[in-house]
Amino acid sequence: MFRWNMSLETDIESIDHGRRVLIEAMADFFRSLDDPFLDRTMVAERTGAIFIAMKAAFDAEASFLSTHGGDESHMAAHATLILTYVGLCKKMVPKINTLKQAQQLSLEIYRIIDGGLYHHLKDEVLFYKALNRPRKIA
């Protein structure tokens, strides 16, 4: 299950806010896996909420990076995550016709979210903390 915790904090308010909203959208998606009425519409709504939150979180990061020496490879990683996620959802969500299909395809989407997006957020924390740390003048 996805939960916001201190290990995910970058100490940059705008970035942490966007990431917190994204984690909440991911957790909402995870909780929906047990819904006995899970269907294509619910999966589409939940994956759409993740996309919206992901875009907002990545936009906040891009804004911060633009004023702190933006890292093009970092932004390219975000673009790749977005394209992969959107491509996966466009491919899988329309195939949902039954509860079992909704559950199986949602588990696949969950694995991608957990294996890619969530770990990406965790791995970036130290990067942002280092950028936000006051620089010592020699």
Each residue's pLDDT tens digit, 98-130: 999 999 999 988 888 887 777 777 888 888 888
- List CB contacts of 52: < 8 A, sequence separation 6 or more: 25
Whether 90 shows a pLDDT value over 90: the answer reads: yes
* Model pTM score: 0.85
Question: What is the C-alpha separation between 65 and 131, in angstroms, rounded?
Answer: 9
The maximal CA–CA distance of the chain, rounded, in angstroms, is 64
Question: What is the C-alpha separation between 110 and 102, in angstroms, rounded?
Answer: 12
Domain-by-domain residue ranges, the chain?
13-129
Q: Which of 33-37, 40-44, 65-69, 100-104 has the lowest mean pLDDT?
A: 65-69
Whether 136 shows a pLDDT value over 70: the answer reads: no
CATH 1.10.10, domain 13-129, yes or no: no
